Structure 1
Amino acid sequence: MINTAQETEIIQYLLSKKLDQKLLLEIKDHFILQITNLMEEHNTGFQEAFLQTKMNWSYELEMIKADLLSTRKISRIEKDILQNRFRKMTGYALLSCVCFLIVLYIKPDLYNEVQIVAFAIIFGLSGYNFIFRKMKLYHYTQISFHPLLLKNLLVGLLVIGCTPFFFQDLKMVLSVMIKPFFLFATAVQIQLLYWNTKKVNVLI
Structure 2
Amino acid sequence: MQFSKLLSVAVGLLATAEAISVQKPRIAARGSQKKFNLKLNAVHAAAPASSSAIQNMIIEGIVTRSAVDKSNGTVVYDDSISFTFIDPNSNTSTACNDDFLGSPQTTQFPTGWVPCNNNGNLMDDFYWQFTDYTSLTQFSIELIHGFVGADNSGKVYRSADMPITLVCADVNHVDGCYSNQTISIPVATVTA
TM-score, normalized by length of structure 1?
0.28
Instruction: Answer with 1 or 2: which has the greater Rg.
Output: 1
The structure that is helix-richer by fraction is 1
The structure that is strand-richer by fraction is 2
